[in-house]
Amino acid sequence: MEKEWNIIEVLRHSRHDWLNKLQLIKGNLDLNRIDRAKAIIDEIVVESQNESRLSNLQLPAFAALLMKANWENYLFQVEYEILEDTNAIRVNERELVTWANLFFDSLNASVAMEAENLLAITIVPLKEGARFFFDFRGIIKEKERIEQFLIDVSRFAIETSVKEFTEHELAVEVYSP
Amino acid sequence: MEKEWNIIEVLRHSRHDWLNKLQLIKGNLDLNRIDRAKAIIDEIVVESQNESRLSNLQLPAFAALLMKANWENYLFQVEYEILEDTNAIRVNERELVTWANLFFDSLNASVAMEAENLLAITIVPLKEGARFFFDFRGIIKEKERIEQFLIDVSRFAIETSVKEFTEHELAVEVYSP
């Protein structure tokens, strides 16, 4: 019954998220801020479109990783955007998932707990492979963790390049053939 | 990656349902029916509470069956209500799931496609076991399918009793020790 528990847990998290959004809409309606409520609905629709695009990429393990990221109690929030609605992209998914898991864990171990930490991920599907931009804003306390991560993934087939790396920002670009 | 596909499929269905609800709220806001929009939100919250109660019963296979029922393209809609928020109930879940699968399939094979068919399920947790009320409203074209089903489950340990059985209504009560 493990599979069923999984479904129930996933729906529990998802329901919780949706009810929070609904609460936000309701709160604004109660204050008679109708336009704000409508704007929130529009934002949610865009967010859902991104989730739908992510599903369409045919990268089940990577998609599941991103969709579940905010249920993992990381010290940072994850947002993602897929720049184009593509039916399937061919990337080295196994390595990408390992990369992303290592990155999330290293980032989690290095950021300041009390800060507002946000990791924004942008996915650009290409004819051959895809580019992934990981932009972190927040407070990084232990840079060594990230540095170690960058050494660890340097032997990977997917290419990692650091665009920005300060106490408040980390921008990493990944190309997977 | 089957597990991940599962998660993605479940979230795809769930997202679709939630976006429909959101659309309904948005549509009413656009027509300036603020009170109707608020009422819909309240209805959704109650629905979610039932889903949450269903999860809490600790019957993963049965819960997954009900939660996914409306994604299976049955010729009837499924609604459910759990009368009490209980932490766990002890029932013969394996048999209950077999029973419910057989019932859904028989019902699906017997109802009229063009009708508005609704199956309302009420779950009453008891100290020992639970009672399940399956109330169908719609059009039953092939009563024999249901009759055969009732014969098939008569050897089950869970008790099935028919309360009403006409062309337009079928009410079945199930007690699982």
Mean pLDDT of A154-164: 95
Give pLDDT, residue B87. Answer: 83
Any CB–CB contact under 8 A between A1 and chain B? Answer: yes
Mean pLDDT of A121-139: 95
Give pLDDT, residue A2. Answer: 64
Give pLDDT, residue B66. Answer: 96
Give pLDDT, residue B6. Answer: 86
Segment B63-86, tens digit of pLDDT: 999 999 999 999 999 999 999 888
Any CB–CB contact under 8 A between B4 and chain A? Answer: yes
Query: Inter-chain contact B60–A25, Cβ cutoff 8 Å?
Result: no
Mean pLDDT of A85-111: 94
Query: Inter-chain contact B10–A7, Cβ cutoff 8 Å?
Result: yes
Segment B107-134, tens digit of pLDDT: 999 999 999 999 999 999 998 899 999 9
Give pLDDT, residue B2. Answer: 65
Query: Inter-chain contact A11–B61, Cβ cutoff 8 Å?
Result: no
What ipTM does this complex have?
0.89
Quote the tokens at residue B76.
């009837």
Segment B142-161, tens digit of pLDDT: 999 999 999 999 999 999 99
Radius of gyration of chain B (CA): 18
Chain B residues inside the 8 Å CB shell of A26: 38, 41
Residue in A29, A38, A55 nearest the CB of B8: A55
pLDDT, averaged across chain B: 94
Give pLDDT, residue A128. Answer: 87
Q: Please identify which residue in the block is written with the tokens 């990692």.
A: A160
CB atoms within 10 A of CB B144: 11
Is residue B1 predicted with pLDDT exceeding 60? Answer: no
pLDDT, averaged across chain A: 94
Is residue A44 predicted with pLDDT exceeding 90? Answer: yes
Residue in A1, A34, A60 nearest the CB of B8: A60
Give pLDDT, residue A1. Answer: 56
Segment A10-28, tens digit of pLDDT: 999 999 999 999 999 999 9
CA atoms of A118 and A69, how far apart (whole Å): 12
Tell me the pLDDT band of A85, cut-offs 50, 70 and 90. Answer: confident
Quote the tokens at residue B4.
């991940």
DSSP assignment of B103-155, as one string?
HHHHHHHHB-TTS--EEEEEEEE-SSSEEEEEEEES-BS-HHHHHHHHHHHTT
